[in-house]
Chains A and B, each alone.
Chain A
Amino acid sequence: MSAAEPRTPVVEIRGLAKSYQRGGQSVAVLSGLDLDIFPGDFLALMGPSGSGKSTLLNLIAGIDKPDSGTLRVNGVDITRLSQSALAEWRAHHVGFIFQFYNLMPVLTALENVELPLLLADLGRRERRERAELTLSMVGLADRSSHYPSELSGGQQQRVAIARAIVTDPTLLVADEPTGDLDRVSAGEILHLMERLNTELGKTIIMVTHDQRAAEAAHSIVQLEKGAIGLGAGDGR
């Protein structure tokens, strides 16, 4: 893809609003938010605690529904999908990376990576091969039969990243992926995510508090009380 071409956004957010009920009162978290995310973007969502970063990410990832507004991903307004259609959409289009990895403790590293493929139309052997390949991409081929409890935090997060990309999703969403890691492991994870972005062209949306993490991204969106503050990027 060339920079000269006028690009169409992969995520197109218009007038997005979300509020929560608290103590009988409705508290607006997001109100009238507009945002475009382009294919191959590596976007850092930043902002103070409680500014609605996770809320926005969850809406983009289709695990929560807005009160109003539209949210198009590749032209599909996911706010109009039924719960069941949305689940299917997530299985094909979203890869999740969580702060606390959220691996299944009773499954091995390889089985964890294979898990999302159960929802794809693949044979047993094909699933296994793809999971193995993906696990080796994150440098953990030799840990495939280890359980999460036998892996370090950084290794667990790498397994989680493998799980997120094994289905080749349209979007990778990460909520504070380095929030639970030491500097060295966090650096490794960020490096891995940069490679996914540059080498595989993955579109990544990452919530973070970490300045170093933000530097790894190509653009930063500041969220302030439910609205977009100043955006900063590297000019990509």
Chain B
Amino acid sequence: MFLRLVSRNTLRHKLRTALTLLGLLVAILAFGLLSTVVDAWYAGAEGASSTRLITRSSISLVFPLPITYRERLRQIDGVSTVTTSNWFGGVYVTPKNFFPQFAVDGETYFSLYPEFILDDAQYKAFMRDRKGAVVGRKLADRYGWQIGDTVPLRGTIYAGNWEFVVRGIYDGREAKTDTNQFIFHWQYLNETVKRLLPRRADTVGIYILGIDAPDRAAEISELVDAQFRNSLAETLTETEKSFQLGFVAMTEAIVVAIRIVSYLVIFIIMAVMANTMAMSARERLPEYATLKALGFQPWRVGGLVFGESVFMAMVGGALGIALTFPVAEVFGQAMGSLFPIFHVSIGTVLLQIACSVFVGLVAGVVPAVRAGNVRIADGLRAVA
């Protein structure tokens, strides 16, 4: 009966309840999306492997390393595989079509990235074609590329018009695997660079080292950097994860801003809802006074208001959470390769639930206390 009072009171002002639920829904949805954006920001680091180290120039990522380091890296104790990667930064048709392009050592690259699943025949075709490229499934789907298609890229770092032929399309082994990459032969890049810009030839952006013992990562990194200390290009070696996090750190301020905004949204809906609850409770003071006259204790009367607040917040929150999934799906697609991985995490949903409950509790507390403590004679007088 008490629950019936709560639920029927909730539905008393249909429009007011609907608007409050809508506000809650939007707030919880926005919170979920923003939180997912933050997750997506860190997704690269999440997908990082603990058996890969990244070696780059200690001065800055924009300074390349000589290709001659490869042999010396191979000799270092604990390093099992060495491969290279070079940021290309080309433009496909228009600069809006952003996706990462890497010139790699085809012989070794895929063995270090077992999460990229590539058909053996396609891999062989890629290795046979100097201008061959392997693209991620998501990327291929986005532009409708098929095996055998020619993809032109306009170089920005490496001037000129480049042409590649799609020889393979890789899938991700896990949902968090990035299938937005465009991968082609470093050999092809280097040949051209040699002709046009001999000074920049025979260099790579980074080395990626495969190690067998993740727990030795720090020690091996130290060994690598010691090897090249006092040489022309000193190195900085770290795990793939901290390498990725380094990128995130550059944009940390944005992440912080997003976090603040998402909690502001919750705060605002809390204020709105507290106001709604206060309004409803004030209108019903005569009823609460009547209940108290009948002998209901203040906590029971307050519980009615409190229950209504929490009930409403839970319903609005549940709707918001339910909507987060489809909206995130659409949002992720619209964002394209800016956020290669855009998934609503369990952590986000838990936070959404916590926020809903919190909003309900906080919004209900003051009106509940007020309703519970209404002076009966005064409350009854309000009827007349």
Interface residues of B in 1-28 (CB under 8 A from A): 1-2, 4-5, 8-9, 12
Q: Which residues of B contact A (CB under 8 A)?
A: 1-2, 4-5, 8-9, 12, 286-287, 290-298, 376-377, 380, 383-384
Stretch of A95-103, A199-207, A211-219 lying at the B interface = A95-103
- Assess whether B296 is in contact with A87, with CB atoms less than 8 Å apart: yes
In the complex, chain A residues whose CB is within 8 Å of the CB of B296: 87, 91, 119
Q: What is the bound-complex CA distance between A104 and B296, given in angstroms?
A: 14
In-complex Cβ contact of B295 among A105, A107, A111, A116 (8 A): A116
CB pair A104 B377 closer than 8 Å = no
- 16 of the cross-chain contacts (CB-CB < 8 Å) are A63-B376, A63-B380, A87-B295, A87-B298, A90-B293, A90-B295, A92-B295, A98-B383, A99-B384, A102-B286, A102-B290, A104-B291, A106-B4, A106-B9, A107-B5, A118-B1
Q: Across the interface, which residues of A come within 8 angstroms of B287, CB to CB?
A: 102, 104-105
* Interface status of A115 (Cβ within 8 A of chain B): yes
Q: Whole-angstrom distance between the alpha carbons of A163 and B295 in the complex?
A: 13
Name B's interface SS: helix
A88 contacts the other chain (CB 8 A): yes
Which one of B4, B286, B295, B383 contacts A119 once the chains associate, using CB atoms below 8 Å?
B295
Given contacts A64-B377, A102-B287, A104-B287, contact A84 B1 (CB under 8 A): no
B383 and A96 contact, CB distance less than 8 A: no
How many inter-chain residue pairs (CB < 8 Å) link A and B? Answer: 72
Q: Given the complex, which residues of A lie within 8 Å of B292, measured CB to CB?
A: 63, 87
Closest to B295 in A: A91
Which 7 pairs, one residue from A and one from B, show the smallest C-beta to C-beta distance?
A91-B295, A106-B8, A63-B376, A102-B290, A90-B295, A100-B383, A64-B377
Whether the Cβ atoms of A64 and B376 lie closer than 8 Å is yes
Partner of B380, one of A102, A104, A107, A115: A102
CA distance A91 to B290 in the complex (A): 12
Which bucket holds chain A's interface residue count?
20 to 34
Q: A63-B377, A104-B5 are in contact. Are A98 and B297 (CB under 8 A)?
A: no
Minimum distance in angstroms from A153 CB to a CB of chain B: 14
A114 within 8 A of B: yes
> Which of A61, A88, A106 is the most central at the interface, judged by chain B CB atoms within 10 Å of its CB?
A106
By a CB distance below 8 angstroms, the chain A residues around B9 are 106
- In the complex formed, the residue of B with least CB distance to A118 is B1
Q: Is A58 an interface residue (CB 8 A)?
A: yes
Interface centre among B291, B293, B295, B383 (most CB of A within 10 A): B295
B12 near A106: Cβ-Cβ < 8 Å? yes
CB distance from B52 to the nearest CB of A (A): 63
Q: Which residues of A lie under 8 Å from residue B12 when comparing CB positions?
A: 105-106
Please judge, given known A-B contacts A106-B8, A111-B1, whether A98 and B290 are in contact too, CB under 8 Å: yes
A147-189 at interface with B (beta carbon < 8 Å): 163
User: Would B295 and A115 count as touching, CB distance under 8 A?
Assistant: no
**Of B286, B291, B293, B297, most A-chain CB atoms within 10 Å:** B293
Q: Is the CB of B293 within 8 A of A63?
A: yes
With the chains together, A198 CA to B12 CA distance in Å? 40
- Give bound CA distance, A213 to B155, whole Å: 99
Closest to A175 in B: B380
Q: List chain B residues, Cβ under 8 A from A92.
A: 295
**A163 / chain B contacts, CB cutoff of 8 Å:** 294
Q: A114: which B residues are within 8 A, CB to CB?
A: 1
Q: How far is the CA of A111 from the CA of B8 in the complex (A)?
A: 13
CB atoms of A111 and B4 under 8 A apart: yes
CB distance from B98 to the nearest CB of A (A): 56
Contact of A106 (CB < 8 Å), options: B5, B290, B294, B384:
B5
Q: Which A-chain residue is minimally distant from B9 (CB atoms)?
A: A106
The docked-state distance in angstroms from the alpha carbon of A78 to that of B121 is 94
Q: How far is the CB of A197 from chain B (nearest CB, A)?
A: 21
